[in-house]
Amino acid sequence: MLLCRSTKKIIHFIKNNSDFFKKDFAYSDNYLPLAFLCGKRRSNNDNRSIIQKDIFDVYNILCLYSEELFEIFSREDLDLMTFEEFLFDVSSAIVLIVESFGSACELGSFGLINTNIGKLWVINNKKYKDENSYIEKGPLKKIKKLRPGHVFYENFNDDGQIELSTDLYVSLSKLDQTNFRRKPYTTVGSTVDITDAGYLLWFLIDYVNIFGSILENEFIPIIKNIFNVEQIRMTFSSKNNADGAYEWMSEWIISNLPQILVKLEVFFEKYNPKYGKYFSLNHGYFRKINRSATTLPSIIFKSSFIKTQKSRKELSKIICSKKKEGFDIWKI
């Protein structure tokens, strides 16, 4: 892909300040929590919608529904189990309501991944609590042993709608914030192996927050240039690699990450007559949650670097270059 002039300047800016580039990541509670909600097929006022409206919207927790993303990431050669490994990794929490065959299967799949089981929060109907079933004696027993307090037994009315208890409401309103692995990527030869998909999502947000916008399909060449590699590979928390039959998957998913952020209303989708589709930060979203995007900690640079006089001067030149190229990056 032929990069526009301002993008080349950005890559040069990042490389030229490599001493300030982050390589290790401590746990942080300053990012926006992102919950992946699983349950039965969506309908009017279904249980997932109740949780989103009554808890997540109130506490400004970003919410993903797999059905919405299947539209973006749908491919005949991609199975949903592999796709949901990616969703598991990119989310800061998985909230699963056991209310259908599909959600029971998801519980079994997610419950196998010990490394990230702390992300998993499960809601089951109270009337099944003492059943001698595989769900109760298998995945739920395992989760309760490893993460006490992550399994809830709630009342469901005759129409199957959940009745939110105080314990459930309080717990889900305080879902863990995004935490990155200390080493979210490794570079071996000409390949960078991303071991934390959430890191890439927030790298993208950080990039657009600092530099104003990003073109569609530009993220892959940017990552390759910054890391000086020819290939990007993702390794999921399950230790499965996106290779072999899925060797196309890593870069294909990464190139579609901006669309996830459009769904979450964190990004705007815009169009430049010369360069085509691009994405910029939706500052209206941050105003809605009474927060400024500037409070998000940088993934790319060490703390306070972009506030130095030298960096601010260089950034001003880059922003001016973007505006001349016709990109709308005003904070509206």
249 within 8 A of 34, measured Cβ to Cβ: no
Identify the domain boundary among 135, 153, 172: 172
Residues 130-147 have a mean pLDDT of: 90
Q: Sorting pLDDT into bands at 50, 70 and 90, what band is 45?
A: confident
Q: Per the domain annotation, does 274 fall within a domain?
A: yes
Q: Per the domain annotation, does 26 fall within a domain?
A: no
Residue with the two structure tokens 């796709």? 83
Q: Are residues 210 and 268 in the same domain?
A: yes
Q: Are residues 318 and 186 in the same domain?
A: yes
Decide if pLDDT at 29 tops 70.
no
Decide if pLDDT at 330 tops 80.
no
Decide if pLDDT at 245 tops 60.
no
Q: Are residues 66 and 88 in the same domain?
A: yes
Q: Sorting pLDDT into bands at 50, 70 and 90, what band is 156?
A: very high
Decide if pLDDT at 277 tops 50.
yes
Q: Are residues 299 and 240 in the same domain?
A: yes
Decide if pLDDT at 244 tops 70.
no
**Predicted local confidence at residue 81, as pLDDT:** 76
**Predicted local confidence at residue 124, as pLDDT:** 93
More confident residue, 114 or 221: 221
Structure tokens, 234: 């993702």
251 within 8 A of 233, measured Cβ to Cβ: no
Q: Per the domain annotation, does 282 fall within a domain?
A: yes
**Predicted local confidence at residue 242, as pLDDT:** 58
Identify the domain boundary among 172, 202, 235: 172
Decide if pLDDT at 101 tops 90.
no
Residues 134-157 have a mean pLDDT of: 92
pLDDT per position as a tens digit, 287-302 = 888 888 888 888 899 8
Q: Are residues 92 and 188 in the same domain?
A: no
**Predicted local confidence at residue 332, as pLDDT:** 39
More confident residue, 267 or 180: 267
Q: Are residues 288 and 226 in the same domain?
A: yes
Number of domains comprising the chain:
2
Q: Name residues whose C-beta falls within 8 Å of residue 190's C-beta, 6 or more positions apart in sequence.
A: 229, 230, 231
Identify the domain boundary among 172, 192, 219: 172
Q: Sorting pLDDT into bands at 50, 70 and 90, what band is 240?
A: low
Task: Domain of residue 9: give its range.
Answer: 5-21+180-323
Q: Are residues 110 and 213 in the same domain?
A: no
Question: What secondary structure does DSSP assign to 239-265, as a single string?
Answer: S-BS-GGGTTHHHHHHHTHHHHHHHTT
Decide if pLDDT at 312 tops 50.
yes
Angle at 242 between CA 2 and CA 182, to 5 degrees: 90
State the pTM of this model.
0.90
Q: Per the domain annotation, does 29 fall within a domain?
A: no
* pLDDT, averaged across the chain: 86
172 within 8 A of 154, measured Cβ to Cβ: no
Q: Are residues 184 and 319 in the same domain?
A: yes
**Predicted local confidence at residue 304, as pLDDT:** 80
* Pairing assessment for the beta strands 214-215 and 151-156 based on DSSP bridges: unpaired
Q: Are residues 316 and 266 in the same domain?
A: yes
Q: Are residues 82 and 200 in the same domain?
A: no
Q: Are residues 299 and 227 in the same domain?
A: yes
Decide if pLDDT at 15 tops 50.
yes
